[in-house]
Structure 1
Amino acid sequence: MSGVTTNVRGWGSPRRWALSLTLISTVAVAVRVGYVVWVLGPVQSGLDAIWYQLQGGSILAGTGFVVPTSLFEGNLTSTAAFPPAYPAYQAVWQWAVGPGAMSVRVAGVVPGVITVVLVALLGRALADARVGLLAAAAVALSPTLIAADSSTMSENLTVPLVLAALVLAHRVLTQGVGWPSVIALGAVCGVAVLTRQDLALMVVLVALPAVLASVGTGLRTRLLATSLLVLVVASVVGPWMWRNHRKVGTYAVSTISPSSALAGSNCDATYGGPDLGSWSFPCVVDATPTGGEAEVEVADAQRAQAVEYVQRHLTDVPLVLGAREARVWGLWDPRDLARRDADETRRYGWQLASRPLDAVLAVAGVVGLAQLGRRRSWGWEWLVVSAPLVIVCVSAAASYGNPRFNVTALPVLSIGMASLLMSMIDARRPAAVDREVLVVHRAGPDPAPLPPGL
């Protein structure tokens, strides 16, 4: 078996690992830049993308988090419509590279490459070096992730943040509490919440359980680490929430973003017909007051109408939830999904080809993860693997079915798919393994009698 062992160790050797990952990362950069230039070039930016771009420019100009339209009206109005992390990243990028439409789309290259590196690290930790590199290659070439990285939307930042949290949580879980790792885990989770507030589930589903179940760590140390983790998350998220209280009148991480999602996904249009399980802008308009109310009042009105609608249509909820889950995982009419994607700085033809691939990845990834978990006898490691999938399902159920929400789970599914492919390859090589055993045995300095059959 020495030939096989040498082969695996070869993939895991520092030099070969670094060279392979560098090559994959270079390809990731090239395909993302090429996508922006040649595929996305003629596509107009969606409303959310424009909002993020303008907000980033406002932060860069020193006017802060204000309603983007107020920049052109001369009467700046503070806002908490969306979480702040991605606009802040856009401000840094525009300062360093420039504010043009092409520039802000290429901003996704950096988080995209970080995603490739992190999925390689997580794949190697969960399985082996080969699986890590193959998963990294899948992420580098994923049509859905390429489009997400170039869309000028917050998903571009949430993917590497979720992966970073998973890598740190796995380290704490399997290697014991290390204070730098706990602090880093809390900081990453805090920034993730400030990127998309539903990622607060990462704290509950991943960070806290990882610390509490940390191997080889005493109860007192685990409790202290838990307190430290919560403190770090609060120190990252708290200042923004306090700012919102002073400027906007609420402690919420964001206002209009979650309320408009609820209003647009709980109405007649999305409880039946072609929009079933999706989101409708006219429904948001119908739920929005028109008397010049403050942002918090608008959000409260949208939320209240959505809750009232759900209460009056409880019997329809199971069907709607099923449609939302089918949509978010790409198990829906690809043409309908691609048409809706095209409204969010994506190209119809590209998305049309992407959606069936996502559906295949979802199935193969889950099968591969289940097989890998049985082989490795995972215990608490299942938290690290399953959390992104659970978050996608919960987010879709609570809002609406949009395939762009599943991008946070695609890297983990890629690890599962890579593991499945490698196990299939290994299963087809028993004859080659036997021959290597024979060659190694005969090459020894003092060969002993060969076993029967060889």
Structure 2
Amino acid sequence: MAVAARVAYVLWVLGPVRSGLDAIWYQLQGGSILAGTGYVVPTSLFEGELTPTAAFPPVYPAYQALWQWMFGPGATAVRMAGVVPGVVTVVLVAILGRALADARVGLLAAGAVALSPTLVAADSSTMSENLTVPLVLAALVLAHRVLTKGIGWTSVIALGAVCGVAVLTRQDLALIVVLVALPAVLASAGTGMRARLSAAALVVLVVVAVVGPWMWRNHRAVGTYAVSTISPSSALAGSNCDATFGGPGLGSWSFPCVVDATPTGGEPEVEVADAQRTRATEYVRTHLSGVPLVLAARTSRVWAAWDPRDLARRDADETRRYGWQVVSRPLDAVLAVVGVIGLVRLGRRRAWGWEWLIVAAPLVMVSVSAAASYGNPRFNVTALPVLSIGAASLLTGLIDAKRSDAAVRDDPVNRP
């Protein structure tokens, strides 16, 4: 079901849509890695002199290189790269739903995720969200196991490794280490404090071991210890300017603002990133009175509580189909409300303690990321699986209650 939905979407819905700039960047970067020219500025592939880059984190381009090696570099082929992560996501949702509720909830949530218009579009967009969703889910599954079953060193190492890979896919996912991995280990059931502290240290050590070599490479190649350079700085420059602090672009992102904040003298990548961050910081400092309204707009946008036509128009720049997005955005807004209600009811019924970490962390990460950058609904994809579990739990609860009422009415002993 998940495979069929994604293949059909690529072939019949997304077919005529041109790839966005980020998607083209990832496609070219994957091709460069595959060709052996390495992690370089894609435009330098056509200029004769290769220029090293750390513009974006490396995991998704590496995945694209592997996919292109197996299936080729064509536009349709690279858009199909999201099929495998999409299937993995469905499986992990079923596992997490069963752990948090029961098998029925897990299966229902997995079915919803398999056919989710937003996740289908994200998996076909040739962007890093392909991988962030299953990586976050894998971290949640492992964290729940450590939290409820006790310290298992294999699980702890796997948790640290998954978190490290997640950071190298989108650097804002470093929040998952703080919000999920470390609290789950430190609150692990039936484990002594010394073992929990040792496990927490091991998680950090594994994350550093995964992320550290890439940061060292960036220091050697472009002159900075960072996971990425242009990706976060352009997000800040494009979201902190006149076009996004008021008017129809309130709380969103503007490419012209990035252009205005970017030096044009051929400066090194690190200097460009510094200039973009400086422009954004200065703008915020001189427009503090507008920050509360902008933060509210960013939050509303990221949870799709905004004009779906405006959101869809902006989605169209990121390898999405306008009509598809117009339909999917209101569904996301409804799922956010229904999912939270279902999670709260489920948590109360099962008397969750630290398990709340597992369900709340994706929601917090999405909100924090949007507040710190800009309100793009594609950022909420990491939370949609957990919200689907909440919605599935609410639905099964309502069905059970209706069946129980019907059984009481049909019982002769209880008839008036």
TM-score clears 0.5: yes
String of CA shifts for 1:392-445, please: whole Å, max 9, x gaps.
00000000000000000000000000011111111101155559999xxxxxxx
1:362 aligns with 2:332: no
In the alignment, what sits opposite 1:322?
296
> Which of the numbers 43, 48, 61 marks the counterpart of 2:22?
48
Alpha-carbon distance between aligned partners in 1 of 2:49 and 2:223, rounded to the nearest angstrom? 18
Alpha-carbon distance between aligned partners in 1 of 2:42 and 2:66, rounded to the nearest angstrom? 18
In the alignment, what sits opposite 2:354?
380
> Which of the numbers 108, 130, 135 marks the counterpart of 2:104?
130
Q: Counterparts of 1:2-21 in structure 2 under 5 Å? A: none
In the alignment, what sits opposite 2:239?
265
- Deviation of the 1:223 alpha carbon: 1.1
- Deviation of the 1:98 alpha carbon: 1.1
> Which of the numbers 150, 153, 162 marks the counterpart of 2:127?
153
1:342 aligns with 2:342: no
> Which of the numbers 103, 122, 125 marks the counterpart of 2:77?
103
1:113 aligns with 2:82: no
1:59 aligns with 2:33: yes
Alpha-carbon distance between aligned partners in 1 of 2:20 and 2:414, rounded to the nearest angstrom? 69
In the alignment, what sits opposite 1:405?
379
- Count, aligned residues: 416
Does structure 1 retain, via aligned residues, the 8 Å contact 2:147–2:189? yes
Alpha-carbon distance between aligned partners in 1 of 2:32 and 2:94, rounded to the nearest angstrom? 36
In the alignment, what sits opposite 1:21?
none
1:284 aligns with 2:252: no
Identity %: 82
Does structure 1 retain, via aligned residues, the 8 Å contact 2:409–2:415? no
String of CA shifts for 1:30-75, please: whole Å, max 9, x gaps.
0100000000000000000000000000000111100000000110
In the alignment, what sits opposite 1:6?
none
In the alignment, what sits opposite 1:11?
none
Alpha-carbon distance between aligned partners in 1 of 2:338 and 2:405, rounded to the nearest angstrom? 26
In the alignment, what sits opposite 1:189?
163
Alpha-carbon distance between aligned partners in 2 of 1:66 and 1:242, rounded to the nearest angstrom? 16
SS of corresponding position for 2:157: helix
In the alignment, what sits opposite 2:306?
332
In the alignment, what sits opposite 1:88?
62
Structure 2 length-normalised TM: 0.98
1:218 aligns with 2:192: yes
Larger Rg: 1
- Deviation of the 1:280 alpha carbon: 0.4
| CA spacing shift, 1:145–1:452, aligned 2, 3 Å | closer
> Which of the numbers 74, 79, 96 marks the counterpart of 2:48?
74
Alpha-carbon distance between aligned partners in 2 of 1:212 and 1:356, rounded to the nearest angstrom? 38
Which amino acid is the alignment partner of residue 195 of structure 1? T
Structure 1 length-normalised TM: 0.90
Which amino acid is the alignment partner of residue 119 of structure 2? L
In the alignment, what sits opposite 1:12?
none
Q: Superposition RMSD on alpha carbons, in Å?
A: 1.4
Alpha-carbon distance between aligned partners in 2 of 1:430 and 1:336, rounded to the nearest angstrom? 44
Alpha-carbon distance between aligned partners in 2 of 1:277 and 1:220, rounded to the nearest angstrom? 45
SS of corresponding position for 1:169: helix
- Deviation of the 1:452 alpha carbon: 8.4
